[in-house]
Amino acid sequence: MSISKGITLITGSAQGIGRSIALRLARDGFDVALNDVPTKGPQLESVATEIKSLGRRVCVVPADVSVDEQVKGMVNDAVTNLGGLDVMIANAGVGTVTSLISSTVESWDHTLAVNARGPYLCYKYAAMQMIDQGHGGRIIGASSLVGKMAFPNNCAYGASKFAIRGLTQVAALELGKYGITVNAYAPGAIQTPLTEEMIMDESGKIDFETLIPDPVSRKWVMSVFENVPIKHIGQPEDIASIVSYLASKEAHFITGQCISVDGGICMS
């Protein structure tokens, strides 16, 4: 086994983007703590087996990221099993597609609990651990294209992903003095089990008609995607590659940023 580049914890790593990030960082030389909700235990164990085959240490730390004590325990378990924490990837999230008027308080609260409170708790407890260790670290969160551009039928999801940008900037300001950088990534349409369920048809294309019933709004959204410079749907590995860089020593002078990985839809 080669010398470890550090220890990383990735939430929502049973599938999709989180799984790809975990495997990429393991290939980069990191030891990995895998998190997802307890019901995804078999998928987590499968990812853990792949990481072991790469010659890296790995542990599984199931938790609901929206629950304070569970996140605290998740970080503690990762530290106990692997010996520290150098990179926190707050990737876990849920998706909802609903208009403002048709949305419910329950769906709003659930989406914000997982997508905004979850990263807040991950940032907080990771920062506390990294400060105690005294040698800096990397904190990276999951925003979205809809955290940079407003899209119809995304009231709760959009609000939660805009929140990540604010959280990331404030954390970057507060944690820089400890040598901790804080950044986020903003994926566009990425082919994952979540997006396939939310926005894609059986052929793997975005199902605009079902996604946006209102024809005026649909026409606008379709024009946005029709004019994207890079036409194909992104893959989880495209997100893993930017996370790999942000987690590296080379990214030490980048903080407070939310980097778009969307084929050129949002260029700011």
> Which residues are the active-site residues?
157, 161
The strand ranges marked E within 155-225 are 180-187
What does DSSP assign to residue 38?
G
173 to 25, 73, 88, 134, 182: CA distances (angstroms): 26, 26, 17, 17, 9
Cα 97 to Cα 80: distance, rounded to the nearest angstrom? 39
Who's near 160: CB < 8 A, 6+ residues apart? Answer: 93, 111, 112, 114, 115, 116, 147
Between CA 141 and CA 135, with CA 69 as vertex, the angle to 5 degrees is 50
Which residues make Cβ contacts (< 8 Å) with residue 69, sequence separation at least 6? none
Phi, psi of 84, deg, nearest 5 = 160, -170
Residue 12, classed as helix, strand or coil, is coil
Q: Phi-psi region for residue 18, left (φ > 0), alpha (ψ -120 to 50) or beta?
A: alpha
233: which 2 tokens?
Answer: 């749907």
Q: How many residues does the chain have?
A: 268
